[in-house]
Amino acid sequence: EIVLTQSPGTLSLSPGERATLSCRASQSVSSSYLAWYQQKPGQAPRLLIYGASSRATGIPDRFSGSGSGTDFTLTISRLEPEDFAVYYCQQYGSSPGLTFGGGTKVEIK
Amino acid sequence: EVQLVESGGGLVQPGRSLRLSCAASGFTFDDYAMHWVRQAPGKGLEWVSGISWNSGSIGYADSVKGRFTISRDNAKNSLYLQMNSLRAEDTALYYCAKEMTTTVGPFDYWGQGTLVTVSS
């Protein structure tokens, strides 16, 4: 099973700042089958990025993903008030053992 | 509009069973693999189980293997999770989720979840 480790656990930033979230895999993620989700309190997760760098439908271009192999990054170029949430990475290439990272909370400083 | 509606959660004693259902609409259900993902109170996401479009490929997390069984009825556009020998650590909000593509993909639609509480 591929273990995903997200860092930092919490990111305290102000609106307008740049957020950089990391996701490290215990082994290479095949074909960059790496996704990022956003979850707000009381809501289901929402798909942001898939294939490590492709934005899902309707996702603003301030969200971008990069990386390959074992190291991946989600960048939010300028934080909007609605971006403060918890973010999870997920690898979906090694079915049946799909896994999520532990999450990074982006909070208002 | 894609909709996934979970049901069947509730309060159950340790060692007992529960069956969750997910009613799907707004897409061609039998084209896509489906999954169950859970989230314990205040915790992160944990993939539980997944099933291919034709039930030919099924997988489980180690934490539920041998106790949970996933199934689907394409004629009824429904996904199920039979949960046996429930433990306190199975307490969570259980989400039904759809894969984005007809091959391998992330989860592009999620239900709102059904809460399972395992307690005596």
pLDDT by residue (tens digit) across A70-84?
Answer: 999 999 999 999 999
B contacts of A86 (beta carbons < 8 Å): 44
Query: What pLDDT does residue B44 have?
Result: 97
Q: Using the predicted structure, report yes or no on whether residue A96 has a pLDDT greater than 60.
A: no
Q: Which residue has the tokens 């509480």?
A: B117
Alpha helices in chain B (DSSP H): none
Cα angle, residue B111 at apex, residues B51 and A54 outer, rounded to 5° = 75
Cα separation, A56 vs A64, in Å, equals: 10
* CA distance, residue B12 to nearest chain A CA (Å): 23
Q: Is the peptide bond before A8 cis (omega within 30 degrees of 0)?
A: yes
Q: Using the predicted structure, report yes or no on whether residue A24 has a pLDDT greater than 70.
A: yes
A contacts of B60 (beta carbons < 8 Å): 96
Q: Which of B107, B112, B115 to substitute to test the interface with A, most A CBs within 10 Å?
A: B107
Residue B42 CB contacts under 8 Å (≥ 6 apart), including other chains:
none
pLDDT per position as a tens digit, B24-81? 999 999 999 999 999 999 999 999 999 999 999 999 999 999 999 999 999 999 999 9
